[in-house]
A and B are shown apart, each in its own frame.
Chain A
């Protein structure tokens, strides 16, 4: 690398660094101006579901218990109309080696890095994924570097990220802790360039294929226990990999009628790159600060073509509040005897609300839990929130204001899953797609077909919205 470490100079080398750190020639999947061969990109990795199951079972990943939450279902029924209150199950992904479903993604990335002869593996992540990469690197005998956005300009560390730092270091990884800002990616590029390590991005084909086993297991376990597939599977949604991989796994299990629902914590109003807002987010993941931008434009990430394309797969997208998730985390511990990390309970809070809408014989699967501990806990988050002046009160979750007030519900009947308008998300995606075209470029027929698939809509819908958007800019 040249000795110019300015932001501009490093970012200018992005394409070269990505190519050598991933070993994927993304260019060959290009079809039209916007379209690319998504399935081809995934299948060219050579990993089919069976192979991935083998790799994962060798590292004790997957085959986690499916637990029926009978008391929680009873609680939902006690506040539902007669006959309502679908059965709620949870896939206890905390049972994976590093304590979350992220082991599924990391196991395949570490395997691939080893196969390709990289001596180390690196990831830019402040969450469970870093721990998972560190854990699998340890097992595979690879060196590991995790780059985190960890503390604000006052030096205050986000407690959940402080715990991830500790866990990564426990697995023998080097942890580069940075202050707030998207230049995390700038530093990550420098690390990749200097070390020649494998880029275990959250958005490579390996990272998504690794999650397909989760959707597949959910479908097959329910089928085995109940004689049929689940009616609805709900996934906490941030960068899109969880939703994408799970839904693809359901499809591979032929659970075609199972609905895929994405759930995020509503953090509207807080800026993701703001130093001031950093510790005012009491959730570090599973929130709208990631899920909205990644749903409306997946290719904003650290790889040329994102393998996580959530809008392709979601049938419904809902939000819950921070207070509702903390409430449900407490309930899960106290009536189901399962103490699990709060962010992973985002989909659980939403599932509780959705259960009340659905008939009592229906089955909902919450497809993950995550480990909990000091830092990764409602007590740590709420103590920090209080310390920096965020009000924590019991009340109506409708009064929750991200960064200002966290409202813990007074009664379970107040928990609501608020629908995100998917039409609005699709339009926003299509607007971003058009904006990515250069002056004078026009979407081809191939592009329309791709955009329809990528937004889970039809070519007629895409054509109509595109014409509308072009009309507006004229």
Chain B
């Protein structure tokens, strides 16, 4: 069964603003082949179901309708693993500075 969200829940909705074929004339070919999509977060105006049309009130007070795609969406950006190509740099430059210290 599809996930349901109560009125006033913080959610994200999705909408296609321009279908492919409606895009700006100056847009390159690869971008012409895909629609212009929008995602906006806000508080649900009514109880709603994931995947169905829903209306939200955004933090700026606007009412917008779109397809409900996420309930209380997570921030998923992160650092990830250390990068082996960056990890040795500190020791390398400190060694250069030590050599300079000895020479002076």
Is B truly associated with A? yes
In the complex, what distance in Å separates the CA atom of A271 from the CA atom of B81? 29
Contact of B86 among A77, A180, A408 (CB under 8 A): A408
Q: Is the CB of B22 within 8 A of A169?
A: no
Task: Check A273–B89 contact: CB distance below 8 A.
Answer: no
B50 to chain A minimum Cβ distance, whole angstroms, is: 16
Residue of chain B at shortest CB distance from A146 = B60
Indicate which residue in A7, A143, A380 contacts B77 across the interface (CB closer than 8 Å): A380
Contacts of A169 in B (CB 8 A): 41, 59
The reply to whether B83 and A382 form a contact with Cβ atoms under 8 Å apart is yes
Residues of B within 8 A of A140 (CB): none
Partner pick for B93 among A5, A75, A166, A408, CB 8 A cutoff:
A75
Contact with B along A182-215 (1 / 0, CB 8 A): 1100110000001100000000000000000000
Q: Which of B24-62 contact A (CB under 8 A)?
A: 24, 26-28, 30-31, 33-42, 58-62
Q: Decide: B28 and A271 in contact? CB cutoff 8 A.
A: yes
Contact for B96 among A145, A380, A412, CB less than 8 A: A412
| Nearest residue, chain B, Cβ from A122 | B60
Give complex CA distance A173, B82 in Å: 32
Specify which of A6, A177, A276 is in contact with B39 (CB 8 Å cutoff): A177
| A181 x B36 contact (CB < 8 A) | yes
Is the CB–CB distance between B60 and A120 below 8 Å? Answer: yes
Q: Are B27 and A162 in touch, CB under 8 angstroms?
A: no
Interface of B is mostly: loop
Chain B residues within an 8 Å CB radius of A380: 77-80
A-side interface mostly: mixed
Contact status A183-B60, CB under 8 Å: no
- Interface digits, A1-42 against B, CB 8 Å rule (1 contact, 0 not)? 000011100000000000000000000000000000000000
Nearest Cβ on chain A to B91's Cβ, whole angstroms: 8
Complex interface: chain B residues within 8 A of A69 (CB):
none
Q: Which of B28, B60, B100 contacts A273 (CB 8 A)?
A: B28
- Chain A positions 167-182 with a Cβ under 8 Å from a chain B Cβ: 169, 172-182
Cα separation A285 to B60 with both chains bound (whole Å):
26
In the complex, which residue of chain B has the Cβ closest to the Cβ of A186?
B24
Q: Taking A75-B97, A335-B90 as contacts, is the C-beta distance between A379 and B79 under 8 angstroms?
A: yes
Q: Which of B24, B38, B77, B99 contacts A78 (CB 8 A)?
A: B99
Task: Name A176's closest neighbour in chain B (CB-CB).
Answer: B40
Please tell me the number of chain A residues within 8 Å of chain B, measured between CB atoms. 66
- Assess the A182–B37 pair: CB atoms within 8 A: no
Q: How far is the CB of B23 from chain A (nearest CB, A)?
A: 7
What residue of chain A has the Cβ atom nearest to residue B81's Cβ? A383
* Bound Cα distance A64, B78 (Å): 28
- Does the CB pair A183–B93 fall under 8 Å? no
Q: Does A331 contact B (CB under 8 A)?
A: yes
A274 contacts B24, CB within 8 Å? no
Contact (Cβ within 8 A) B83 A183 = no
CB of A274 within 8 A of CB of B30, answer yes
Partner of B17, one of A162, A183, A335: A183
The answer to whether B100 and A383 have CB atoms under 8 Å apart is no
Please tell me which one of the listed residues B37, B78, B82 contacts residue A375 in the complex, with CB atoms under 8 A apart.
B78
Tell yes or no: A275 within 8 A of B by CB.
Answer: yes
A187 engages B97 (CB within 8 Å): no
Would you call B3 an interface residue if the criterion is a C-beta within 8 Å of the partner chain's C-beta atoms?
no
Q: How far is the CA of A120 from the CA of B61 in the complex (A)?
A: 10
Contact A162 B76 (CB under 8 A): yes
Is the CB–CB distance between A393 and B85 below 8 Å?
yes
| Distance of A78 Cα from B96 Cα, bound (Å) | 7
> In angstroms, how far is the closest chain A Cβ from the Cβ of B8?
16
Please give, as numbers and ranges, the residues of chain A lying within 8 Å of B34 by CB-CB distance. 153, 179, 275
A165, B94: Cα distance in complex, Å:
37
B contacts, CB < 8 Å to A: 17-18, 22-24, 26-28, 30-31, 33-42, 58-62, 75-83, 85-86, 89-90, 92-94, 96-97, 99-100
22 contacts between A and B (CB under 8 A): A5-B17, A74-B97, A78-B99, A78-B100, A169-B41, A177-B40, A178-B17, A178-B37, A179-B36, A179-B37, A326-B86, A327-B86, A331-B89, A374-B77, A375-B77, A375-B78, A377-B79, A379-B86, A382-B86, A383-B81, A392-B83, A412-B96
